[in-house]
Amino acid sequence: MQGYIYPNEFELRWGLLIVLYPYLTGLVAGAFILASLARVFNVKEVEPTYRLALLTALAFLIVAPLPLVAHLGHPERSYEIFLTPNRKSAMAMFGFVYAWYLMVVLLLEIWFDYRRDLVLTAREATGPRKWFYYTLTLGATDLSDRALQFDDRVGRWITIIGIPSAFLLHGYVGFIFGSVKANPWWSSVLMPVVFLFSAIVSGIALVMIIYLVATLFRSKKVDMGCADKLASFLFYAIVVDFSLEMLDFIHRLYEAEESIEILSQLIEGRLFVSLIVLQIVLGTLVPLISLGVVSPALSKRSIARIPAEVRRLIYLGCAILVQIGIFSIRWNVVIGGQLFSKSLRGLTAYKAELLGLEGLLVAGVLLVLPFLVLGVLVKILPPWPDTELPASPEA
C-alpha cells in the first residue's frame, strides 16, 4: 500500500472469481464464432473442429456463471433474477442472455447437427444406452433426405442468429466495466469491443489446443490444413485485438486527464508483470511473431523448411501463451481497476489466497471443471470427423 488509501478502499470487492467470469464467457463466445466459420462462412479447412468448437462452447457455458454465482454468496437464490427481473441491472439481465444463448442457440444447434447421429446410434445400441440416445432424439427419428435438409437449414439459421448472440454474451461484460465512468481504468467506449475481440482470440486458441492435444491422445493424424488455417485466423484476430488495445491506450494518453499519473504508476508498478510481461510480450508479441513466421498462409517462403511436427508444437505453444495473455487481460481489467484509490492519490495491493471461496484452489477447480464437462459431452456426442457410424437405411 502506498499513498492515500482510505480503509474502505484497502480491500478489493472483486477478486479472482470475477476474473474467471469474463475469461470463461469469452472462451464460449470465441469458440462459437470459430464454429460459425465452417457453418455460415463455408471455411472448409476448419470443418474438423466445427463440432468440437460447439461442444467446447457448451461445456464452458455451463460452467461460466458459477464464478459469479459463487461470488454472490447465495447460489440458491440465483433463480430469483428470472422471477423478479430488474431491467436496469446489466448483471441481472445477463441471466436472460445466458438462458437465450444456452437454450435457443447452443443446445438447438447441437441437437439439429447431431440428430442423425443420435438416431443411428439409438438404432444400433442395446439396453439402457439405446433408450438414452432415443431420449436425446426427442422422438424425431425421420432420416429422409427432406428431414436431413431441414435439419441443415434450421441449424444454419440458428448459427446466424447465434453470431450476434455471442457478441452480446461477451460484449455486455465489457459494457459493464466500460460504463463505470467513475473509474478511469474501466471507463472507455472501446471496452466492449476489446473484450469481444479478445474473446475471439481466446476461443480460437482454446479450440486449437484441444484439437491438437486430443488428436495426439487419440493417435490420429493432425489435419495440418486445419491447423494452419486456425493459426492464420488466430494471427489476424491477435492483430485486430492488439490494435484496439493500443488505440485505447493512445486515446488515454491523448486525453491526458488527471488520472494519467496514477495510471502510469499502476502500470509501472503493480501491473508491470501481468500487463507488460505476460499480456503484451508473452501473450501477444511472441505468438504474433511466431505465427507470422511459421504459418504457411503468412510466410510461404520459410514454411518449406519447417516440418509439420515442429509447426504443431509451435502452434500449441502459441495457443497456450495466448491463453496466458487473455487471462492477464481479464486480471488487469478486474483487479487493476481496483488497485488505486478514488482520490487517485494512492495504490493498494491484491494477493490471492490459496484456500477460501476467492482462493486459488477454487479458481483452479472452476478452470478444470469445463474440461471435465467437455469430456462427458465428447463421450456422448463424438465430434471427430473420423467417427464411424452405422449407415442410414434411408440413404
* pLDDT at 8 exceeding the cut of 80: no
State how far the Cα of 291 lies from the Cα of 302, in Å rounded to an integer.
12
Residue 114's pLDDT band (cuts 50, 70, 90)? very high
Pair 60, 156 in one domain: yes
Residues 193 and 314 in one domain: yes
pLDDT in tens, 347-371: 787 888 888 778 899 999 999 999 9
- The DSSP call for residue 3 is E
**Nearest to 2, CA basis, from 347, 373, 394:** 347
Arithmetic mean of pLDDT over the chain:
85
Nearest to residue 182, comparing CAs of 270, 264, 257? 257
pTM over 0.85: yes
Tens digit of pLDDT for each residue in 145-177?
Answer: 999 999 999 989 998 988 888 888 777 777 777
Total domains in the fold of the chain: 2
Q: What is the pLDDT of residue 1?
A: 57
Nearest to 375 by CA among 62, 70, 137, 80: 62
Distance from C-alpha of 316 to C-alpha of 212, rounded to nearest angstrom: 7
Q: Are residues 246 and 165 in the same domain?
A: no
| Domain shared by 376 and 278, yes or no | no
Query: Do 261 and 359 belong to one domain?
Result: no
pLDDT of amino acid 394: 47
Q: What is the pLDDT of residue 308?
A: 82
User: What is the DSSP secondary-structure string of 33-102?
Assistant: HHHHHHHTS--GGGGGGHHHHHHHHHHHHHHTHHHHHHHHS-GGGTTHHHHS--TT-HHHHHHHHHHIII
pLDDT at residue 127, as a whole number? 87
Same domain, 155 and 31: yes
Cβ atoms of 227 and 212 within 8 Å: the answer is yes
Residue 392 reports pLDDT greater than 50: no
* Grid coordinates belonging to 252: 488515454
Q: Are residues 158 and 291 in the same domain?
A: no
Work out whether strand 2-3 and strand 346-347 pair parallel, antiparallel, or are unpaired: antiparallel
Task: Let me know if residue 95 belongs to a domain.
Answer: yes
Q: What is the pLDDT of residue 297?
A: 66
Phi, psi of 18 (to 5 degrees): -75, -20
Select, from the ranges 241-255, 303-317, 360-374, the one with the highest average predicted confidence (pLDDT). 360-374
Which pLDDT score, from 0 to 100, does residue 116 have? 92
What pLDDT digit, counting tens, does each position of 45-72 carry? Answer: 899 999 999 999 999 999 988 888 888 7
Q: What is the pLDDT of residue 299?
A: 63
pLDDT at 75: 76
pLDDT, residue 146, reads 92
Distance CA 319, CA 247 (A): 24
The answer to whether residues 275 and 372 belong to one domain is: no
Would 4 be classed as within a structural domain? no
* The predicted structure's pLDDT at residue 286: 95
Question: Does residue 22 lie in a domain region?
Answer: yes
Q: Are residues 324 and 260 in the same domain?
A: yes
Backbone angles phi, psi at 347, to 5 degrees: -125, 140
Could you tell me if 192 and 338 lie in one domain?
yes
pLDDT of residue 395: 42
Q: Which domain holds residue 247?
A: 181-350
Q: Which residues contact 302 (CB under 8 A, 6 or more apart)?
A: 293, 294
pLDDT above 80 (res 44): yes
Q: Which residues pair with 346 in a beta bridge?
A: 3
Residues 26, 92 within the same domain: yes
Same domain, 193 and 171: no
